[in-house]
Chains A and B, each alone.
Chain A
Amino acid sequence: MARRVLAINPWPGLIVAGLVTFFSLGTLAAVAIRADSFGALDQFDVAAVRFTIVQAFWSAVLSVALAIPVARALARRSFWGRRALVTLLGAPFILPVIVAILGLTAVFGRNGIVAYGLNLAGLEPISIYGLHGVLLAHVFFNLPLATRLLIHGWGSVPAEQFRLAASLDFSGRDVFWHIEWPMLRNLVPGLLVVIFLICTTSFAVALTFGGGPKATTVELAIYQAFKFDFDIGKAALLAGVQFTICGVAALASLWLAVPQAVMGGQDRVFQRFDTGRVTSKIVDGVWIIFATLFLAVPLLAIVMQGAPYILSLPTSVWSSALRSLVTALGSAGLTIVFAVSLSLAALRWRWLEGLGMLSVAASPLVMGTGLFIMVFPFVEPARVALLITALVNAVMSLPFVLRAIGPAVRACEDRFGPLSDSLGMTGWARVRLVILPRIRAPLGFSAGLAAALSMGDLGVVTLFARPDGATLPLQIYRLMGAYRMEQAMGAALLLLFLSLALFYLFDRGGRGHAKS
């Protein structure tokens, strides 16, 4: 029996585990205590439940269906700019939702490029609001995610299989059915569930593109019950419904094989032998161009339409940007402390890492509702808006960050644990001198990710913030609501720049002066 040396105090990790459980489940309990009976769901609420499920379902199906040909094209073609495109596919993960919304509006909206083209052809412009817009935004965010994971799937097929296919003279269809379909069959169900889950909790998209009796999600209904009717009982009841939807989807994702590599992952082009035909080259080319345009044009629209206004933005935008920066940095700090403590305690109790993933199933709006109910009797919620935003963002970032930090801490202990034990390095000395320096790269990446996610978050803060206490994404949303689109565009460009800069600086800081 190997001796388990208890070199580092697990208490901080246990406290964090308690905090995460409290945020994910405790807030729900607070909500449940306040909830009316289920009979109080009116027809609008039932419609919201139906819309949530329907839009999440179609978002998942469309994202994956479009991602399959794109991933296939990217997996088997090497061309100039391929690496840049694969990097671009990672960008939506840290892209603030409100920026994407504005970019999509600029392209697909009433005054957008597509509408202009339809007009020239004598056609009616399509509306970006309602189900269309929600699906569009969700596909914009999840098509890249699905594509990256599927490229990974193609990369995991042994190269010998394709060589064998060539020697057996397989047609393109044979390759698909004998080699690619078995891989997809393993990967796709998990992918669908993950995207479904993401889309049930994407509040900002529903807030901007949804609304009205036909296109309200449960989270939006929670927000409205709170903000407009101040009906805490109703909000609480809806929070319970939302948690149930997320919980079922999360359980399904546990049951299915969910692809793991969210970011990074291997990226090679395998030499294939079934790619020579001209039609297949054209088809792949069309898909690659489609994906590039679909992702790049909305972002370019933000840059081009926002740039003229960025220097003349009102003071309120700059002060909200400052507020957002402080929140994002605080949230990144909290995320790192949480993730490192939890990973260290998980050296002893592995299941703690799973507990840290609990917030995958939680809805930030439900957390916000619960926290609002809890703090409301004691302090004015607006006074703790930024603190609560930073905390909720940190808890929400934890599942992604733990995937980077957990394995790095374990690898460090496997490699240097015996030496550290032999030298009597315990407690803080061990963390400071051994673990933190060894996990610098994932630490920087994680801090960047957490900062960018918090910088762009438009969720809990909408419940708490006063008009003069907005974060930058909330300020942009308000500018949009006031039809000041030029300023909104300028502010969106600022937000885009800040989010990417935060990610870049932290990630770079972690990798800089890398010592072997």
Chain B
Amino acid sequence: MLSLEGAVIAQDGFTLKADFRVKAGRRVAVLGPSGAGKSTLLAAIGGYVTVTQGDIVWDGRSISNLQPNQRPVSNVFQDNNLFPHMTALQNVGLGINPNLRLNAADKQRVLDALIAVGLSGMEDRLPAALSGGQQSRVALARLLVQQKQLVLLDEPFSALGPAMRIEMADLAQAVGARIGATVMMVSHDIKDVERFAEDVLWVEDGICHLPRALGDFLKDPPAGFTSYVGE
């Protein structure tokens, strides 16, 4: 279980307050107007931004002072998820060993992960030789080998077209289920959210509201959500 306990995150003169819990294995959409602090929230959980007050706790253990790679967290960012000079196999292999020294068993794990995301036979391609959707699949395959219990997706598919986004949201859901991870995804698109999420975490004006079940949230949305969606 992830819990933010009275956490205050300050970045560039902007402050975000977060005090909530997410149960293990849930799929949570992080929603809110742009500039509300969604990405800052994920950056704090991921270890890129320090919390100035309070604590971030995973399974009863504080992770606030750990380096990003020491946390039980794997990421897909908005962009720059793949190294352009490495093949698909190498890009995924980094999730097993950051030195890229892979033995036969490691390589097999990578190949299995690539097959699981639908990229069999493409392991030797450079990102430039893959479509945008295929590049996203490589990033998702890496989550499979990393086996981290908390997956953070920060608008990972925003560069893709609507149909592809939905396909990727489904795949992200499958990947999360396969490793049994808690998945938090920032999104701008309510369609992605309806497809993917069990819970919604509403962020507005520097405050993270408590996560609510998706149906509940859509039935009785906060005032800011109505003006955000424009309905």
Binding site for B on A (CB under 8 A): 1-3, 5, 415-416, 418-419, 421-426, 429, 433-434, 437-438, 515-516
- Apart from the given pairs A3-B50, A433-B100, A516-B126, 19 other A-B contacts in the complex at a CB distance below 8 Å: A1-B10, A1-B50, A1-B52, A2-B49, A3-B48, A418-B75, A418-B77, A419-B77, A419-B80, A421-B47, A422-B75, A424-B70, A424-B98, A433-B83, A433-B94, A433-B99, A437-B83, A438-B85, A516-B127
Within the assembled complex, what's the spacing in Å between the Cα atoms of A344 and B40? 26
Q: Which residues of A contact B52 (CB under 8 A)?
A: 1
**Complex contact B128–A515 (CB within 8 A):** yes
Q: Does B95 interact with chain A (Cβ within 8 Å)? A: yes
Chain B residue numbers with a CB within 8 Å of A421 are 47-48, 67-69
Contact with B69, one of A423, A434, A438, A515 (Cβ below 8 angstroms): A423
Say if the beta carbon of B46 comes within 8 Å of chain A. yes
For the complex, give the distance between the alpha carbons of A419 and B69 in Å. Answer: 10
Whether, in the assembled complex, B81 has its beta carbon less than 8 Å from a beta carbon of chain A, the answer is: yes
Binding site for A on B (CB under 8 A): 10-11, 46-50, 52, 67-70, 73-75, 77, 80-81, 83-86, 94-95, 98-100, 126-128
Q: Is the CB of B85 within 8 A of A418?
A: no
Question: Do B100 and A424 have beta carbons less than 8 Å apart?
Answer: no
**Residue in chain A with minimal CB distance to B99:** A429
* CB of A87 to closest CB in B, whole Å: 28
**A416 and B83 contact, CB distance less than 8 A:** yes
**CA A5 – CA B47 in complex, angstroms?**
9
Nearest-neighbor residue (CB-CB) of A434 within chain B:
B83
**Contact partner, B98, options A2, A423, A437, A438, Cβ 8 Å:** A423
| Residues in B whose Cβ lies below 8 Å from that of A429 | 98-100
Given contacts A1-B49, A416-B83, contact A515 B98 (CB under 8 A): no
B15 to chain A, nearest CB (A): 11
Looking at the complex, which one of B67, B80, B128 makes contact with A418 (CB distance below 8 Å)?
B80
Q: A2 vs B94: C-alpha distance in the bound complex, in angstroms?
A: 25
Roughly how many angstroms separate A20 CA and B100 CA in the complex, as a whole number? 34
Given known A-B contacts A424-B98, A516-B84, A418 and B48 have beta carbons under 8 A apart: yes
Identity of the chain A residue whose Cβ is nearest the Cβ of B65 in the assembled complex: A3
Q: Closest 3 CB pairs between A and B? A: A424-B69, A425-B98, A516-B128
Contact across chains for B94 and A423 when beta carbons are under 8 A apart: yes
CB neighbours of B11 from chain A (8 A) = 1-2
- Could you tell me if A515 and B48 are in contact, using CB atoms closer than 8 angstroms? no
- Could you pull out 24 A-B pairs where Cβ atoms are within 8 angstroms? A1-B52, A2-B49, A3-B47, A3-B50, A5-B48, A416-B83, A418-B68, A418-B80, A419-B75, A419-B77, A419-B80, A419-B83, A421-B68, A421-B69, A422-B46, A422-B73, A423-B95, A423-B98, A424-B68, A425-B94, A426-B98, A433-B83, A433-B99, A515-B84
| Residue in chain A with minimal CB distance to B68 | A421
B79 closest partner in A (C-beta): A415
Interchain nearest-CB distance for A221 vs B (Å): 52
Contact A5 B83 (CB under 8 A): no
Residues on the A chain within 8 Å of B81, using CB: 419
Given contacts A421-B69, A433-B100, contact A515 B75 (CB under 8 A): no
* A421-B68, A424-B69, A425-B94 as given contacts; A3 in contact with B49, CB under 8 Å: yes
Complexed CA–CA distance, A321 and B98 (Å): 44
Bound Cα distance A425, B83 (Å): 12
> Which listed residue (B67, B94, B100, B126) contacts A5, Cβ 8 A?
B67
For A433, list chain B residues within 8 Å (CB): 83, 86, 94, 98-100
A418 to B74, CA, bound (A): 11
Min CB distance, B47 to chain A, in Å? 7
Q: How far is the CA of A419 from the CA of B80 in the complex (A)?
A: 7
Residue of A nearest to B139 (CB): A419
Counting chain A CB atoms within 10 Å of each CB, the highest count among B46, B48, B68, B100 belongs to B68
Inside 8 A of A437's CB, which chain B residues have their CB? 83, 85
A516 to B84, CA, bound (A): 6
How many Å from the CB of B147 to the closest CB on chain A? 13
For A515, the chain B residues whose CB sits under 8 A away are 84-85, 126, 128
A437 to B50, CA, bound (A): 30
